Amino acid sequence: MTYVKKRIPRKPSKEADEVLTVYQKGLDWAHENINRIIYIGGAILFIVVISIGYMWVKSNKQEAASGALSSAMAVYRQVIGNENPLEEVEPGKEKLAEALKAFEQVSSDYKGMKQGYEASLFAANIHFRMGNYDDASRIVEDLLASDPDFSSKLNVSYFLARILETKGEYTRAMEVYSGVLDRATADLRPVVLMDLARCYELAGDIDSAVEKYRTVLDEFEGTVYATKADVKLATLGISAEELL
């Protein structure tokens, strides 16, 4: 007996004319939408060019800002290095004014950038050293409003509290110190407590001052801060027996 193998028909393949038809359809679509293709391609190219240009400009500006800040710092270091304790106050202010001008230029040229904020902080510090407390507090308050993250990292609020205390604005200073105390790290807490106690004392609120000094004694027994708090309590007429 002879077996005849049944032939399985293959799937029909695309003929050459069918392939050409698909290709032709693609050409026809491209021809009909040539303007759209050009616009889309141009838009993509424009975005790429703009992005690259922006990154290049930003990189160059960051480099220029860092260079400008370094130059201002060099002027400041020269001023500090040339300071003579035996000099009159006025010549020292003139030297500081030179560094101040350099930092203010950087702050103005690179406003909104990290280097500009750092320059502003240095300018505020110089104003503080020169006794320009209103200018110092204005700059610091602007920094706090402009970039809270930057200000938080550098404890700018603490600097503001010290300026306000020096200006004699004790109520505002105590408010700022209290805010700093709420966020203070373990090593900064005793410092701020002592500052806050001193501010209460200067404001005439002796009871609150004593309370803060006692807090320092309780929380930081055996440290230099506790020793200072003990001395302050003694000057306020609070004996060791009263603290027990």
Query: How high is the pLDDT of residue 15?
Result: 52
- Note the CATH number of domain 170-244: 1.25.40
Alpha carbons within 13 A on the beta-carbon side of 114: 11
On whether the CB atoms of residues 126 and 96 are closer than 8 A, the answer is yes
Return the structure tokens found at 116: 């500009």
**Residue length of the chain:** 244
How many helices (H) and strands (E) the chain has is answered by 12, 0
How many alpha carbons fall within 13 Å on the CB side of residue 225? 22
Residue-wise pLDDT tens digits, 161-182: 999 999 999 999 999 999 999 9
Q: Is the pTM higher than 0.75?
A: no
120/105 Cα distance (integer angstroms): 9
Greater model confidence, 42 or 95: 95
Nearest to 198 by CA among 188, 213, 184: 213
Q: What is the pLDDT of residues 114-147, one digit of tens each?
A: 999 999 999 999 999 999 999 999 999 999 999 9
Query: How sure is the predictor about 90, in pLDDT bands with cuts at 50, 70 and 90?
Result: very low
Label residue 153 by pLDDT band (50, 70, 90). Answer: confident
Q: Which of 200, 205, 210, 212 is nearest to 234 (CA)?
A: 210
**Average pLDDT score over the chain:** 80
| Token couple for 150 | 């930057």
Q: Which two tokens stand for residue 171?
A: 């109520």
The pLDDT of 11-16, averaged and rounded, is 51
Please say if the pLDDT value at position 192 is more than 70.
Answer: yes
1 pLDDT exceeds 50? no
Angstrom distances, CA of residue 44 to CA of 39, 48, 111, 157: 9, 6, 32, 46
